[in-house]
Each structure stands twice: as C-alpha cells, then as structure tokens.
Amino acid sequence: MIKDSEYETDTIGRRVLVGLTPEETSEYLQLAKLVTTEDSDEGLALRWVELYEKHYAVLRPLSQIGAAKH
C-alpha cells in the first residue's frame, strides 16, 4: 500500500509519486496491479521494478530527513 507521504503535487497540481512523472505514476500503479498476479509477464515486472527503484531512490533520502526531524 502506498502511503500519502509518498506522493507530491507537480507544478500543475497533479498528484504524483515522488520521483516519478505523472505518466510514470500512472504506469507504476497499473503495473503494481498486474505484477501481483501469479501469471504476470516478466517484462512488465522488470518495468515495475525500474519505476519502483526510481521512486524509492528519491523517497528514501526524504524519509530519512523526516525521521531526523522527529
């Protein structure tokens, strides 16, 4: 489950996952549903991992900064 803190608002007010474009956010969410099935395509799973890593590469340092403030 994606937390609200993993989202930000882009320059024109769209809600996107931190580190991803609106298009990548949409793709990530669609792929997340597909790769949880047992018969998911390996190529789709690899693309989901690519987007996941891009998202968490930006989110991880932000999370550490937030934790340090508390």
What is the tally of structural domains in the chain? Answer: 1
Q: Global pTM?
A: 0.82
DSSP codes joined into one string, the chain? ---GGGEEE-TTS-EEETTS-HHHHHHHHHHHHHHTSTT--HHHHHHHHHHHHHHHHHHHHHHHHHHHH-
pLDDT digit string (tens) for 17-38? Answer: 999 999 999 999 999 988 887 7
Confidence of residue 12 (pLDDT cuts 50, 70, 90): very high
For residue 27, the enclosing domain spans 4-69
Across the chain, what does the average pLDDT equal? 88
